[in-house]
Structure 1
């Protein structure tokens, strides 16, 4: 465990040293692991720490919250992230260019910005039984505005990305694997050991060779342009500002915690019926 983890105390994002060259970053913002401003601040600190350590070769991102890797962006607090969410776009760009390889270990739900975060890391492994992925925005009357449109279409192709985003449905790990959305669906009982073995194996190899692999692959498949991402985010904000969308957010904010949890657990099943009510 790194010293900085002790300094951050109850931070919603913590860094642990798993082995030489290998770090784990754990999201811990119960009950839903929402992407809140506090999560963003702590994630920025974690990424800066990783960048400052020349010994880091591989970083695994996972969750300490059962059933949720990262539920979605806290839309009720979107203004706190700043116009255009500059910190978010800077973070995922830096992770894409980082000298270390990034791995997402998914057990639970990753919807909205949670899925967009996974799309921004280098490698994704998921629990066959318990992983749930999706872009839920369409049910609220908006679109993915944090890179999901661009990165998902590059992995799955246009038609499947359109299916995923326009349906707002939940997708299991086996389907995501077939679509090219994730690298591999792994039996849940084997997921932790599988990810651990992969990370330790990568950490055992020469740092300069690993850096070269990532740099060259980035040249062959460059990240989405800043202009494209900014334009998509601006379109999302336009849709978000409409009165009926804001009314939905106000109603959601008034819901009892048990009702919110139930909805979050079954979002893919219910998002269509919610949309038809308006």
Structure 2
């Protein structure tokens, strides 16, 4: 990786070296930053390149879209991800075990698999004014199937995780910080400089010491087991396959782009009574 950027043309995911040992990965899949097969393929390529570079110490993930960090899974293309979403679960396992530290800069909405991606990273900082997190699946008759329940409960505790998931509501950055969901809510105008300083500071330090810190913390706080994740995804798939749920998604598929955008911007409010 001798170039300052891994991607020269516009890609749904791109990576750029910001300095020695410091890389930034940006999601850019308008209009909603859906997690679709192209995004997954981009992540596979980028993660493999980062793993191959022993000099990488810290990787920051952000979004090029102001309103969406990552809206959610592109459910209409679920079959393209393979039975049980093997690539997704391999990716988040590799990021958890990677020698580099992973950091999120969160602006806009991160719901469903978008939030589940954030939960799989090491550190999360969010815009106080412009970040919204949620697991809205219950409002559609399904459940988080990509690790959200296991990882969220480890951060927030069982009761708060149950509140978040069972309500399907949106949570702002201040509440997410209070719940332990994110590390810190930062004023939007200061967020980029804050995260950049944090990442540069990590990149300055000794690589082997950083590797040891992450490895020991992983041993003391092990990630969810593969069997637990498989069981959750199987239950998610069973719920998704029900006729009543499929009818809901078919109705959404008939909505106009303006209607879909309004729904996605206000999903936590729209999926249930107020």
TM-score interval for Structure 1 and Structure 2 normalised by the shorter chain = over 0.9
Q: Which whole-Å CA distance do the structure 2 matches of 1:98 and 1:114 have between them?
A: 20
Which residue does the alignment assign to 2:143?
A: 143
User: What are the within-5 Å matches in structure 2 for residues 26-105 of structure 1?
Assistant: 26-105=26-105
Q: Which whole-Å CA distance do the structure 1 matches of 2:10 and 2:85 have between them?
A: 24
Q: Which whole-Å CA distance do the structure 1 matches of 2:49 and 2:7 have between them?
A: 10
Shift of 1:3: 4.7
Q: Which whole-Å CA distance do the structure 2 matches of 1:75 and 1:138 have between them?
A: 14
TM-score, normalised to structure 1, is 0.96
Tell me the alpha carbon deviations over residues 57-87 of structure 1, each in whole angstroms, 9 at most, x when there is no partner: 0000000012100000011110100000000
User: How many residue pairs align between the two structures?
Assistant: 272
Which residue does the alignment assign to 1:2?
A: 4
State yes or no: 1:132 paired with 2:132.
yes
SS at match of 2:16: strand
Which residue does the alignment assign to 2:163?
A: 163
User: What are the within-5 Å matches in structure 2 for residues 225-264 of structure 1?
Assistant: 225-264=225-264
Q: Which whole-Å CA distance do the structure 2 matches of 1:244 and 1:273 have between them?
A: 19
Which residue does the alignment assign to 1:107?
A: 107
Tell me the alpha carbon deviations over residues 87-114 of structure 1, each in whole angstroms, 9 at most, x when there is no partner: 0000000000000000011011000000
Shift of 1:4: 2.5
Q: Which whole-Å CA distance do the structure 2 matches of 1:19 and 1:259 have between them?
A: 42
Gaps of 5+ in 1: none
Q: Which whole-Å CA distance do the structure 1 matches of 2:65 and 2:201 have between them?
A: 26
Shift of 1:10: 2.2
Q: Which whole-Å CA distance do the structure 2 matches of 1:182 and 1:65 have between them?
A: 20
SS at match of 1:61: strand
Verify the 8 A CA contact 2:5 2:15 in the aligned structure 1: no
- In structure 2, the CA distance between the partners of 1:80 and 1:98, relative to structure 1 (3 Å rule), is same
Shift of 1:273: 4.1
SS at match of 1:102: strand
Q: Which whole-Å CA distance do the structure 2 matches of 1:157 and 1:3 have between them?
A: 39
Q: Which whole-Å CA distance do the structure 2 matches of 1:107 and 1:66 have between them?
A: 6
TM-score, normalised to structure 2, is 0.98
Shift of 1:2: 3.2
The structure 1 segments of at least 4 consecutive aligned residues displaced by more than 4 Å after TM superposition are none
Verify the 8 A CA contact 2:4 2:18 in the aligned structure 1: no
Shift of 1:254: 1.2
CA RMSD of aligned residues (A): 1.0
Q: Which whole-Å CA distance do the structure 1 matches of 2:147 and 2:160 have between them?
A: 16
